[in-house]
């Protein structure tokens, strides 16, 4: 029987990209500066969010979407600070996707929000392939993970806009070389901004807070 | 990574296109997969053989064209494929690149009877 070739030319992961685009439209309409925070488990995503809320909440209206496989431990910590938060449980899924994030929007006061944190599932691989509608991707990398992680997870490090290099207070106990880390990252991503910080001691955090305030201001000033 | 849900997307897209063309059996699906996409062809084939049973794509061959990671140097615009984790430009030795291909995961075409 004759074989016919049908051209398709379609992205297999296209459905998520399309949903991410409509998410971004909704967030842009409300001028919400939106950050997708990614890291391996335990690097400090929640700690960074909680520190930032404590520092900026009197000046900036913040909301949070928490993504975890199970439990609402992180959302409860955010809620205690009086911040609107939605917990998404993926029930085994290893990343948030744009559909899940859209479903959280109806439970958040987007029209009264300046800054939205989306805390992704702890994972250095899968979240990278799934846009959510964010303005910026932020990675938390931490000193105990080692300075060679950019070699091992190039896609994640190549795509991020900002890296918070956390737990600098542990430098005396580790063989972490900041110069090696920075060289490896900028090799993959010359535009990245790196903030060495310690959430625990507060070291370096002011630079991150200033950067973030500037981005929120810019977003508020943009035409919808 | 996520080969099962990717395979489901491949199957449903192929069936949709075959249906639109009022075609019969799908004999081959031509896919383009980039090195950085994280998609493992053997896993996709494994799941596909399972979920395509009793559909118009039952028994179809999956063909994977692999696209290597390709990057462009910011400084001299040289296009190259990084080797051994070294992403510095082999021409000018500067660091700083844009990824221009390697993340793809798309269906080029299907072949039908």
What pLDDT sits at residue A51?
Answer: 97
Q: What is the mean pLDDT of residues A40-61?
A: 96
With CA atoms as reference, the chain A residue closest to B37 would be: A129
Q: What is the mean pLDDT of residues B9-36?
A: 93
A10 touching chain B per CB within 8 A? yes
What proportion of chain A, given as a percentage, has pLDDT over 70? 99
Instruction: Using pLDDT thresholds of 50, 70 and 90, give the confidence band for residue A15.
Output: confident
Structure ipTM over 0.85, yes or no: no
Higher-scoring residue by pLDDT: A137, B6: A137
B59 touching chain A per CB within 8 A? no
Q: Is the pLDDT of residue A1 over 90?
A: no
What pLDDT sits at residue A223?
Answer: 59
Q: Rounded to a whole number, what is the distance in Å from the CA of B54 to chain A's nearest CA? A: 20
Query: Tokens 């897209």 identify what position?
Result: B13
A interface mutation test: which of B107, B108, B110, B113 has the most A CBs within 10 A? B107
Q: Rounded to a whole number, what is the distance in Å from the CA of A83 to chain B's nearest CA? A: 33
What pLDDT sits at residue A56?
Answer: 96
Contact A12 B106 (CB under 8 A): yes
- How many distinct helices (H) and strands (E) make up chain A? 8, 8
What pLDDT sits at residue A38?
Answer: 97
Contact B1 A155 (CB under 8 A): no
Query: What is the number of residues in chain B?
Result: 113
pLDDT in tens, B33-75: 998 887 888 889 999 999 999 999 999 999 999 999 999 998 8
Contact A11 B113 (CB under 8 A): no
- Chain A 45-64, CB below 8 Å of chain B: which residues? none
Q: Rounded to a whole number, what is the distance in Å from the CA of B52 to chain A's nearest CA? A: 17
CB atoms within 10 A of CB A76: 12
- Name the nearest CA neighbour of A25 among A182, A151, A131, A142: A131
Distance CA A216, CA A220 (A): 6
pLDDT in tens, A83-119: 999 999 887 788 898 989 999 999 999 999 999 999 9
Distance CA B113, CA B104 (A): 27
Contacts of A151 in chain B (CB under 8 A): 85
Contacts of A94 in chain B (CB under 8 A): 2
Contact B36 A154 (CB under 8 A): yes
Contact A190 B96 (CB under 8 A): yes
Instruction: Give the helix ranges, DSSP H, for chain A.
Output: 14-29, 45-56, 73-79, 98-105, 149-152, 154-159, 178-188, 205-221
Q: What is the mean pLDDT of residues B2-6?
A: 80
Contacts of B37 in chain A (CB under 8 A): 129
């Amino acid at each position: 029987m004759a074989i016919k070739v049908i051209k398709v030319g379609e992205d297999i992961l296209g459905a998520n990209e399309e949903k991410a685009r409509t998410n971004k439209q909704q967030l842009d309409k409300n001028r919400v500066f939106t950050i997708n925070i990614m890291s391996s488990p335990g690097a400090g995503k929640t700690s960074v969010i909680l520190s930032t809320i404590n520092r900026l909440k009197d000046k900036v209206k913040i909301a949070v979407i928490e993504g975890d496989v199970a439990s609402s431990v992180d959302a409860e910590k955010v809620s205690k600070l009086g911040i609107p938060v939605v917990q998404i449980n993926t029930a085994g899924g290893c990343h948030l996707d744009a559909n899940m994030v859209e479903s959280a929007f109806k439970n958040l006061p987007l029209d009264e929000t300046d800054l939205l944190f989306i805390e992704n599932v702890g994972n250095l691989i899968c979240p990278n392939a799934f846009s959510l509608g964010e303005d910026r991707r932020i990675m938390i990398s931490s000193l105990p993970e080692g300075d060679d992680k950019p070699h091992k997870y190039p896609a994640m490090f190549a795509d991020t806009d900002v890296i918070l290099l956390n737990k600098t207070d542990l430098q005396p106990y580790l063989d972490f070389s900041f110069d090696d880390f920075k060289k490896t990252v900028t090799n993959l991503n010359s535009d990245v901004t790196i903030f060495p910080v310690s959430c625990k001691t507060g070291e370096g955090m002011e630079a991150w807070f200033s950067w973030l305030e500037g981005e929120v201001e810019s977003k508020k000033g943009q035409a919808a | 990574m996520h080969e099962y849900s990717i395979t489901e997307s491949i199957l449903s897209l192929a069936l949709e296109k075959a249906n639109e063309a009022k075609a019969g059996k799908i004999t081959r699906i031509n896919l383009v997969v980039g090195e950085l996409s994280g998609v493992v062809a053997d896993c996709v084939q494994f799941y596909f053989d399972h979920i395509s049973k009793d559909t118009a794509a039952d028994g179809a061959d999956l063909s994977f064209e692999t696209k290597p990671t390709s990057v462009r140097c910011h400084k001299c615009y040289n296009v190259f494929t990084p080797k051994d984790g070294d992403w510095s430009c082999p021409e000018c030795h500067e660091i700083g690149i844009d990824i221009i291909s390697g993340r793809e995961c798309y269906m080029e075409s299907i072949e039908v009877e």
